Chain A
Amino acid sequence: MTTNALTAKNLTVSFGGLKALDGLNLNVELGQFLGLIGPNGSGKTTFFNVLTGIYKPTNGTVLLGETDITGATPNQIYEFGITRTFQRLRLAPTLSVLDNLILGNQRNLHLGFIGNIFNRKRLRREIASQTEQSRELLGRFSSGLVSKLYEPITALSMIDRRRVEVCRALISDPKILLLDEPSAGMTHDETSALMNELLAWRDQHKELSIILIEHEMDLIDRICDRCVVLNYGQKIAEGTYQEVANDRMVREAYLGED
């Protein structure tokens, strides 16, 4: 049996008396594109926050491949190769596009104090290679964006900002990418375009597993290999989109009982 890229076993997160996640069992296979759906408050973003170390689980384990990463800090999670985007877009608005991208590539930078101050030659080389890498990555998404490399984020349109945030998450060549409602603030076409660009990139990085939280169902239908539906912090259905869309419990969760 092949090991899953990511496995969550019996994951529970409580805030006071409220169980945001309740014994969640979920796994993602290598190279899979998993859709995570569910009504508001079902625990989707909480799940991401636990995965990325922002919340500590009250119970349960998270495995990356065979490695137990339960309770790791956000820095450690990054080192393990899990990156994410945020629902409300968390870029550094007053920094340039290039700055934002390079920030995502921490593991490939020399960060020592002495080195940065005194070994400027090496720093210049790193700046050059990071700029090149950022250019190349951005170019796969939008050639127009490349010319805006030195613009501040505030000068960009929403879809360009989303692109930058996705690229920031991809630049370190992660194993797992978590996308939290990338469609928020964008039109249907813009979201489609972004997803297509992502899929094109993924064709060359077949081992990347992606988990996508979304409310736009036809997007999930079109691009996800598999879906998991959450409600009240638990998994209530999984399968292809078509399968879960027709599941009775899922319909109840979204629409209420007939």
Chain B
Amino acid sequence: MIVPSIFRERWPVLLLGLAAYVSTFLFLHLEQEWEIALLLGIVPLVLYIAKKSGMSAKCRQAVGVAPVFTKVVFLLSALALIVTLRHEHFALLLLATVLLYATISLGLTIQFGYAGLVNFAAIAFFGIGAYTMAVLNQSQNGLPDLMIIVIGGVVAALIGSLLILPVLRTKGHYAALITIAFGLLFRSFLEVNDILGGPQGLKVSGLNILGWDFAQSFPAILGGGSFYVSYTLLALVLLIGVFSMTRLIESSWLGLNMDSVRLDETASASFGINVARWKIMAFTVGNFFAGMSGALYASMSGFVAPASFNLSDSLLLVSIVLLGGMGNAVSVIPAAFLVVVLPEKFQVIQEYRLLLFAVIVILILRFKPSGLMPRPLRRLINTSSK
């Protein structure tokens, strides 16, 4: 029988998908702080047991053997999650925010984790995408909303290219300064000028894709639900697209050369790598992702204002990448989840959010610089031999 043999080696993946579904559902659904705290205690315990019993090794092996199956299982888990939560406005909003932040973080992973470019202005590029949506969505142009999302990404990438020359010509910490300066510049600019709404910001109309108005509740035929379902689904689609592209970059000559640039620019040049080209590519692609994410976010939240795009948000994003393990595109997603969801659930720590994550990052950098889940060694798949 074919069916049982497939599952014999793949059942750990199903288990993983189920675990992911259950844990994310609980984190998003539960509201009492003690419940969340309990969950926070149980999760590491479960992970520890899994490691000791050899379960995690089995899972890792199963995932390695069946990558496509794994992706399908996780996609189904995500969909099941959305379906289960379809009537809970706040949980969906939270989930959508996680997905969008994860998208930006993937962009940062390419810039920082692969090419070694520090970008402390990630939220600014996110903001550029958001404002692009705000501006283009209002006027009566015939642009379809999906295209505006892409345009948001493009505009972010284009403005990013203005920074490229100084970023390229300077080394590490100088480049960091440029992005910080740009982030501050962007925020000041937004507050000071009037065209873009000044400190009050702009209102953004919701999305309308192929006739489907995102502001209305999810159709009863498909189970009904909050209007956030549509946005969350779209954010999921965006994340999947961005994630796939990130992995494709990593497992190709693009990722290899970016790694080389990050690790040793001089040596890279000595065997023909055009360092500038790879930095430009990483920076542009990363900002493109951030811009698209921002455009979607703007239409979901209904307004954009300068106060949403602070340096502290950029720092939070950087801490997501560090927490997840620099360069690990997979663990960046749970990291984003933790950083976005936990402060929301523990209202008590909302205020302390940035302080808390700054301390965590300090501890990580001091004691476990590779992050919670270090980046696995690249293994270029060779189909011809073993």
- The interface of chain A, by Cβ under 8 A from chain B, is 52-54, 73-75, 77-79, 83-84, 86, 90-96, 98-99, 102-104, 106-107, 109-111, 113, 116-117, 120, 123-124, 126-128, 131-132, 150, 152, 168-169, 172
Pick from A75, A99, A116, A168: contact of B269, CB under 8 Å: A75
Cβ-neighbour of B381 out of A104, A117, A124 (below 8 A): A124
Q: Is B145 an interface residue (CB 8 A)?
A: no
Contact A131 B266 (CB under 8 A): no
Residues of B within 8 A of A110 (CB): 253
A103, B245: Cβ atoms under 8 Å? no
Q: With A74-B269, A98-B380, A103-B271 given, is the CB distance from A116 to B259 under 8 Å?
A: no
Cβ-neighbour of B256 out of A99, A117, A124 (below 8 A):
A99
| Contact flags B244-265 to A (C-beta < 8 A → 1, else 0) | 0100110011101101100110
Indicate which residue in B249, B271, B281, B377 contacts A172 across the interface (CB closer than 8 Å).
B271
Q: Which residues of B approach A to under 8 Å, CB–CB? A: 245, 248-249, 252-254, 256-257, 259-260, 263-264, 266-274, 281, 377-385
21 A-B pairs within 8 Å (CB atoms) are namely A54-B270, A75-B272, A75-B274, A91-B267, A92-B259, A94-B263, A94-B377, A95-B256, A95-B378, A98-B380, A99-B256, A99-B378, A99-B380, A103-B256, A110-B253, A111-B257, A120-B248, A123-B252, A127-B382, A150-B379, A168-B271
Cβ-defined partner of B253 (8 Å) among A77, A116, A132, A168? A116
Q: Are B249 and A96 touching (Cβ within 8 A)?
A: no
List of A residues within 8 angstroms of B281 by Cβ = 113
Known: A90-B264, A92-B260. A83 touches B270 (CB 8 A): yes
> A128 contacts which chain B residues (CB < 8 A)?
382-384
Could you tell me the distance between the alpha carbons of A74 and B266 in the complex, rounded to whole angstroms? 9
A107 and B270 within 8 A (CB) = no
- Please name the residue on chain B nearest to A79 by beta carbon: B272
B245 touches A117 (CB 8 A): yes
Instruction: Tell me whether B378 and A86 are in contact (CB under 8 A).
Output: no
Contact A52 B252 (CB under 8 A): no
Cβ A131 vs Cβ B380 within 8 A: yes
Q: Which of A86, A99, A131, A150 contacts B384 (CB 8 A)?
A: A131
Contact among B263, B270, B380 for A52, CB-based, below 8 A = B270
Residue of A whose beta carbon sits closest to that of B267: A90
C-alpha spacing A154/B260, complex, angstroms: 15
Known: A92-B259, A106-B271, A127-B382. 7 other contacts (CB 8 A): A77-B270, A83-B271, A103-B271, A111-B253, A120-B248, A128-B382, A152-B377
